Amino acid sequence: MGKTAKEMTVVKGVDLERYMGRWYEIASIPSRFQPRDGANTRATYTLRSDGTVHVLNETWSGGRRGSIEGNAYRADPASDEAKLKVKFYVPPFFPIFPVVGDYWVLYLDDDYQYALIGQPSRTYLWILCRQTHMDEEVYNMLVEKAKEEGYDVQKLHKTPQADPPPEESSAPEDKKGIWWIKSLLGK
């Protein structure tokens, strides 16, 4: 990208309480470390009493459930822009040092049913939905919005989602969780 991309438009005034709960990944620009057979990827957000958010990211790959937990907080508590920082401790099962990533809400519908999430480098992008599937019309609108924000939408990869979604206990735990970490570190 030779020319400087315009500043991304970020949603203002998100009601964090309404945003909490489970979101299914409909599509993403995956990290090169993400398992190619990753499916049923989802995020569950829980608001804590101190205003921070507990984050649980899960994906199923090779019959195993991989997960990582973290903590999200407003990048600037004085701003009403939906720019969050997400801090994960790595390795997830032995917290040594934190890895912090950006989580910018680029689009959110009025009913908090679907969202477009990005970050300032435009390397990663997520299309999230409260359901395991999304209407094509809505999907195309979000892809168009991502394109307007300077994303290379050709890199978007649809995430397979089972309906109904798998239970947490339905697969053995993948203890490595290494790809999450490599993605966050960008290595």
Q: Could you tell me which of 43, 59, 11, 26 has the C-alpha nearest to residue 136? A: 26
Whether 34 and 159 have beta carbons less than 8 Å apart is answered as: no
**What confidence tier does 6 reach under pLDDT thresholds 50, 70, 90?**
confident
Q: What is d(CA 113, CA 119) in angstroms, rounded to the nearest whole number?
A: 20
Distances, alpha carbon 125 to alpha carbons 94, 97, 118, 173, in Å: 28, 25, 5, 26
pTM: 0.86
pLDDT, tens only, 40-83: 999 999 999 999 999 999 999 888 888 888 999 999 999 999 99
Q: What's the pLDDT score for residue 151?
A: 97
